[in-house]
Structure 1
Amino acid sequence: MPRRGMGVELVLALVLALLVVGVEELIEGGTLRLLGVGTAAAVLSLLRRRLPVPVLLVTTALSVEVVGLILLEMVVGWSAGRRIAGARRALAAFTGAYVVFMGTVALTNWSEVQQAVETALLLTLAFLATTVIPGLSSRHWSQRQTLLHALQERNAQLLWERQMVAGQARLVERQRIAQDMHDSLGHQLALIAVHTGALEVDPELTGRQREAVGVLRNASVTAMHELREVVGILRDGVAGTPAPVEETGRAARGTAGVGELVEAARAAGNTVELRRSGEVRPLAAAADHAAYRIVQEALTNAYKHAPGAPIAVELRYEPDSLVAEIVSGPATAAAGDAVSGGQGLTGLRERARLVGGMVHAGPTPGGGFRVAGVLPYGVVEASPLVAEEDLPGAFPGASPNAVHEGGPRAMDWSVQGWAAPGGPAGLPAPPSGRPRPRLSGLGLGCGIAMVALALLAAAAVGGVVFLMDSMDEGMIDRAEYDQVTVGESEESVRGRLPSGETVVTTGLTGKGPKRPPDSSCLVLMSSESSESYEEEPVFRFCFRDGVLVEKKAYDVVR
């Protein structure tokens, strides 16, 4: 047991011992008796967890003679209800405790019990209130907590398994998409590269045409390299952004490659101006790649939707971030049938958000179009999804109603109060350990306590009513005693007096002066109170051969 738990047990044992000693001192004093009762209460309290059944039986037996142990009996009953495994064992333990309880009462007060059924009923009610009800309440609370924990663990396991199945399905789908892309796009790009390479060396082409064919061949080779990388990511199931690298026929995919993107656009016949301002500062690999993609996508959109329009590309190195802004003028020629999936700008916004930046795209007052991205220099967490009106001055001229879009957020894995770290392939790791229940047992405990108190109150009221009725069967006043004379017939005397068969006269029969030989006596309590708290005035009527042979009034020490 932990130290904290042991400390609580010691304090509880001390409190119970003091309470039991205090109750016992009010009823019957004696230093040695009080010392023994307190020690027994403390020892039984400490042993109730390890030996629930023996402690329950011993406490029940001792509570018959030591009234103060009733307090300990309630605690022991609560503890036994939780710790006895199996319903049959618990039923057997509490039944055995009841048998021990009633057997001890019968052994200590046999002469009274055999003639007073009311005593057994009252003691049974007391046993139910002090032992059985706490035990049942504790067992119900413990089983409910165990069931809650099992359901929570099962729910967490099912959620994790569902995540695993979904992750495997995504990986299979990625592999299928990767295979389709490789088989279709790879073949077409390879054909374009081969034919443009052959066309480039055709002697009938002019220099200008040969230069344009070279641009097409370089573009197809670069597209093949990027397709190979995307296919690899889809097959591996690992999304990452590589650092800028140099490859033959391929521009560096970062801010260093923006110049080559502009040169390729100029070679294709577009008017493109590139401006750089501010002190050049390095970006994180993911942010650097995002800047390259923003410029590339903006130029592609300008080619498709505004052919012949002048384009201005500007990279501004601000104190805290890089601003990549691409502005295209109004179209000077009719746009052709451009193929567009409608996902380019959405993908740019998500790419920028993942590195802590943002992207705005919208028309300009002169009829052109602007794409601007703000990217931090360092590696930061993904920015929250915010409206642009919450960021005044970020994009001059931006639409006041524009809202940044974002991809799906990470799943919030918080079943029953724990956070699971990421597992393989981005899946959450399986839950470990027992989760902390969200529902506290305080409400249930209070409800059980209220029910127990209500039952105890009902038992107390019933006991008071029972005692008041019993008083009439076991008590007379001095006038009734004086009206009875020695020599009257037993039938006449018993007809005028109560029967005396009640719990209130228990323990009075065997005390007092010696009875006449061969006589049977009726002992009744007096309605008058004694001067001493420990003495009880009684009246005794003894009969022999059907005649009253003696009547006496005396005090009995309880």
Structure 2
Amino acid sequence: MRRGWDWLMEPDPWSRRSPWKESGYALLLAVVSVGAGLLMREASPVGLGFFGAGVVVLALLRRRFPATVFLVTSACAGPLAAGIFVLTPMAWSAGRRIESSGRTLAAFVGAYVLLSVSGLLLGGDTGLSTVLGMVLSALIYLALVIVPGLAGRYLAQRQTLLDTLRERNAQLLRESRMVAGQARLLERQRIAQDMHDSLGHQLALIAVHTGALEVDSELTDRQREAVGVLRQASVGAMHELREVVGILREGEQPEAAAVDESGRAVRGTAGVAALVAAARGAGRQVVLRHTGERRPLAAAADHAAYRIVQESLTNAYKHAPGASIAVELRYEPDSLVVEIVNGPAGPGRAGEVVSGGQGLTGLRERARLVGGIVHAGAADGGGFRVAGVLPYGTGEKAPFVVPEDDFPRQSADGSPSEGVPAMNWNVSGQEPVMGEMYGAGGGRRNTLGGVGLGCGIAMLVVVVIGAAVAVGGYFLVKSAGDNLVSKERYEEIAVGTAEEDVRKEMPSGGSFWTSGIRDAEGHPKKPENSECLVVVSEESASEFDREAVFRFCFRDGKLIEKASYEVTVDL
């Protein structure tokens, strides 16, 4: 079943609602056209039933074969006035779905030819001249077929243009992401190389000199222990530098926590105890507490927790020397809370170290990238407090802050998100910066241009329909004047006048003005072996549903009888 709908809907996309929508649309067209045909009594109910079935089939095939369905509908709509209710929506569909302009022009010209030919061959006699009938049919075709077709084609081309712009915009965004990624990678490699060449050399010198100093026989045990701490710190710094350089070069976070030669973790929550132990070895009063049931964190969040503790301890060393420090890791149901609080600095000891002011900023950035937050500020009773809240997972595990992207309106694979146009947004997230889709005046200019074009098309439709009504009204009035006979002309014609002379003075009697009168009730019996001409009188009838007529009967080429009377017409 779905394969069949796919075939019918091609090239439009298929959805679950498509069968219901298409079937409802086809049935609606059939009901409207058949109902109009019944009201106008253009054919028998059986014939209109077959016509309705054909409308359903054509409506279902209009997407797959737009030009063919439009031509077939035009050929079928010629004999029936109710066919216009089907031809107009088919013209809209054909204008939207026929691809090339040449095929579209050929389809609409061919449809007009088929409509005119089928109307002349199979349609009833309207009483209008051939030229007048062609003019009226051309105006009606222009208003009810050409204009809907142009409107449908305009909307289809506009949608195609918008889709093309969105695809091009998405491609540009993907390319810009790639270029930015390459630039970031090159910059990271340059920074990694500089760090390796400069800091690595200095740390290696520190490790060598502290190692040599540690074995100096003139040092006391206390001094040798302090020098050993410095050597271990320099060695640990070298390992961390090597790790950071590797991260910068590879461009990604390692999945497992790094360890030093002794097997001690240097990153992650497992390394917090080592940080506290090193601080205690340096003579600081540090307390470490764990609360809650321990749970594993993602590698990036685990690394962020370690860095929060490390940076907070460093800040306490620099800005509050001699103050006590409390480190707490609280495992909450949905997040890990890392809190570091130090007391106030001793008298005259605060503010002795110059800081670059980038440490807390880096911590906030680390936490944001994993969906967490970091708060830093004065603690109650003096001192300073740093607290980080880090989720156990990312993505669907509800991070506290959605990590921002360079292109927030772009999905992960670079394609436009569903229902959202692909657009490059600036930092404020409010102003589009794609010049191809917006002119110098911004998006409002394009919006006004689209509204103006739509209003122009609507105005064109109104003007065309108004012109068609005006021209049709003029010809109807002229036709009425030519087909109505005055009482004076009726009385001037005497019985016995040659039939040829009478017919020259009278209308043909075959117009639509007399089409319903010839079969109306109330005609007197005509003479035997005679042929009669019935015309409409200019005089008003005595009742609303009656019409005043004149009748002239001929035999053997002469007028043998004329009569004036009223007939009952169906309204």
Tell me the TM-score normalised to structure 1 length: 0.74
Letter in 2 for 1:362: G
1:130 corresponds to 2:144: yes
Give the whole-Å Cα distance in 1 for the aligned partners of 2:19 and 2:455.
25
Give the whole-Å Cα distance in 2 for the aligned partners of 1:434 and 1:362.
42
Check the 8 A contact 2:338/2:388 in 1, yes or no: yes
Residues 166 and 504 of structure 1, relative CA distance in 2, 3 Å threshold: same
Residues 239 and 30 of structure 1, relative CA distance in 2, 3 Å threshold: same
Give the whole-Å Cα distance in 2 for the aligned partners of 1:256 and 1:483.
123
Give the whole-Å Cα distance in 2 for the aligned partners of 1:175 and 1:286.
20
Give the whole-Å Cα distance in 1 for the aligned partners of 2:115 and 2:291.
93
The Cα shift of 1:29 comes to 4.7
* Equivalent residue number for residue 28 of structure 2: 15
Give the whole-Å Cα distance in 1 for the aligned partners of 2:59 and 2:280.
91
Among candidates 512, 526, 537, match of residue 526 of structure 1: 537
Over the matched positions of the two proteins, sequence identity in percent amounts to 47
1:99 corresponds to 2:113: yes
* Equivalent residue number for residue 476 of structure 1: 485
The Cα shift of 1:229 comes to 0.4
Deviations 1:459-478 (A, max 9, x none): 34542343123212221234
Give the whole-Å Cα distance in 2 for the aligned partners of 1:206 and 1:290.
39
* Equivalent residue number for residue 347 of structure 1: 362
Give the whole-Å Cα distance in 2 for the aligned partners of 1:228 and 1:342.
24
The Cα shift of 1:124 comes to 1.2
The Cα shift of 1:31 comes to 4.6
Give the whole-Å Cα distance in 2 for the aligned partners of 1:200 and 1:188.
18
Deviations 1:250-287 (A, max 9, x none): 6644555445434434544x442425375674553655
Residues 98 and 537 of structure 1, relative CA distance in 2, 3 Å threshold: farther
Secondary structure of the residue aligned to 1:68 is helix
* Equivalent residue number for residue 362 of structure 1: 377
* Equivalent residue number for residue 339 of structure 2: 324
Check the 8 A contact 1:56/1:73 in 2, yes or no: yes
Give the whole-Å Cα distance in 1 for the aligned partners of 2:480 and 2:277.
115
Give the whole-Å Cα distance in 2 for the aligned partners of 1:88 and 1:319.
70
Among candidates 414, 431, 434, match of residue 430 of structure 1: 414
Give the whole-Å Cα distance in 2 for the aligned partners of 1:164 and 1:538.
89
Q: RMSD of aligned C-alpha atoms?
A: 4.9
What 5-or-longer segments of structure 1 have no aligned partner? 386-405, 421-427
Give the whole-Å Cα distance in 2 for the aligned partners of 1:459 and 1:123.
10
Letter in 1 for 2:200: G
The Cα shift of 1:447 comes to 9.6
Residues 436 and 143 of structure 1, relative CA distance in 2, 3 Å threshold: farther
**Is the deviation greater in 355-364 or in 345-354?**
355-364
Residues 85 and 362 of structure 1, relative CA distance in 2, 3 Å threshold: closer
* Equivalent residue number for residue 414 of structure 1: 409
Give the whole-Å Cα distance in 2 for the aligned partners of 1:43 and 1:72.
12
Deviations 1:53-77 (A, max 9, x none): 3443343334332222221221222
The Cα shift of 1:375 comes to 4.4
Among candidates 207, 212, 232, match of residue 221 of structure 2: 207
Secondary structure of the residue aligned to 1:153 is helix
* Equivalent residue number for residue 237 of structure 1: 251
Counting only pairs closer than 5 Å after superposition, residues 116-265 of structure 1 correspond to structure 2 as 117-240=131-254, 242-243=256-257, 245=259, 247-248=261-262, 252-254=266-268, 257-265=271-279
Residues 196 and 44 of structure 1, relative CA distance in 2, 3 Å threshold: closer
The Cα shift of 1:172 comes to 1.1
Letter in 2 for 1:410: D
Secondary structure of the residue aligned to 2:245 is helix
* Equivalent residue number for residue 24 of structure 1: 37
* Equivalent residue number for residue 466 of structure 1: 475
Give the whole-Å Cα distance in 1 for the aligned partners of 2:315 and 2:254.
25
Residues 67 and 316 of structure 1, relative CA distance in 2, 3 Å threshold: closer
Deviations 1:272-310 (A, max 9, x none): 242537567455365554444333323322333344x23
Counting only pairs closer than 5 Å after superposition, residues 48-87 of structure 1 correspond to structure 2 as 48-87=62-101
Deviations 1:301-353 (A, max 9, x none): 2333344x233334364765555333143245557974633211222333345
Letter in 1 for 2:35: G
Counting only pairs closer than 5 Å after superposition, residues 334-413 of structure 1 correspond to structure 2 as 338=353, 340-354=355-369, 358-363=373-378, 369-375=383-389, 378-379=392-393, 384=400, 409-411=404-406, 413=408
Secondary structure of the residue aligned to 1:362 is strand
* Equivalent residue number for residue 313 of structure 1: 326
Tell me the TM-score normalised to structure 2 length: 0.72
Letter in 2 for 1:472: G
Secondary structure of the residue aligned to 2:81 is coil
Letter in 2 for 1:414: R
